[in-house]
Amino acid sequence: MRKIFCTIMLIVTSFHQILAPVWAQLFKGEDSFFENWSVEQTYTDEYAFSVEKDPDRDFVILNLTDVQLKKWQAYSEEGDLATKIMDKLVEQTKPDLITMTGDNAWSTSTYLKLIIDLEKYNIPWAPVMGNHDGQSCINEFWCAYQLYAAKNCIFKFGPKDMGYGNYVINIKENGRIIHTLYMMDTHSSITEDNENGTVEMGGYDHLWNNQIEWYKWAVKGTEKLAGKNVPSSVFIHIPVYEYHIAWDEHRNDPGSFGTCHEEICSPHLNNGFFSVCKELGSTKDIVCGHEHINNFSIEYEGIRLTYSLKTGPGCYWEEDMSGGTTITVDSNGATNVQHVYIDSSLL
């Protein structure tokens, strides 16, 4: 009898998770979940999420990327393996925060499964959207709502007309901002509206001009609050164009590590975001996903460009290039980036 009751409750809970964002979108209105924003408004400490660093040790961020299981995979051997890899990473790195750089899951059922897996750690986690998030799902709003509603998930829809999930996280020590994370949506494919409707133009999209203005506003606002330039990291899915130059010209530099086993799929045109990061002098790390068998990390013109290590077998992978990436933050806000490889044959 107890087993029957538990099964009924699981079914009811699943239906609620599936239908709640649909009702919210239809009756509350999707726009109500986004904030109105302009460059004229005052940046305040309350605008950002805050997480506290223990003064006695480095703050550990564990980044997962491109888990990207399809419908049936989440409940098969591939799904079990992905979960075991994540479990091992959390056990090994003991993170204070888990971040995700997009292509989190690739269907309605796998999104629900992924959230259940992440919630069990009882650790704050913060994702950005990838170009496949929303595909094979009810819609992308549905995915974003699932993240927004999850108990331990740090996620905000962000300003309107910038995609889903542009938000700020401040790492603080004794109430002082020491490092800031900018979580940003790089969207999907480039599209154009014409008389036939919206059509794909080919090539990957990236940060839009209004997102870059929002980033500048937030960096300057954080600097004003802290009374100094605050080191920061940007978490995105699709790499900035400069990853090409970094790999071609600096892969053998001291401090560079990792490899490039597939094409770097950035946008064809440079949107200038990297130059803005250099000009403001805050961002020291850009972390992305997108390519599953690229994992290089190279410092280029004062900013470390890192492909996070792919997590698990979803979509395609190389078994010896799977795990996660840690970004540790010390009391001065300085970072150290390392890949954490998990030998799946031992799980």
Q: How far is CA 13 from the centre of its chain?
A: 26
Residues 291, 263 contacting (CB under 8 angstroms): yes
Prediction pTM value: 0.92
**pLDDT tens track for 164-221:** 999 999 999 999 999 999 999 999 987 544 444 444 456 799 999 999 999 999 999 9
Confidence check: pLDDT of 150 > 90: yes
**pLDDT tens track for 12-59:** 345 456 655 555 665 577 899 999 999 999 999 999 999 999 999 999
Residues 99, 61 contacting (CB under 8 angstroms): yes
Confidence check: pLDDT of 342 > 70: yes
H or E segment at 79?
Answer: helix 77-93
Q: Hey, which of 6-15, 57-66, 105-114 has the most confident mean pLDDT?
A: 57-66
Residues 251, 198 contacting (CB under 8 angstroms): no
pLDDT of 24 reads 60
DSSP state of 202: E
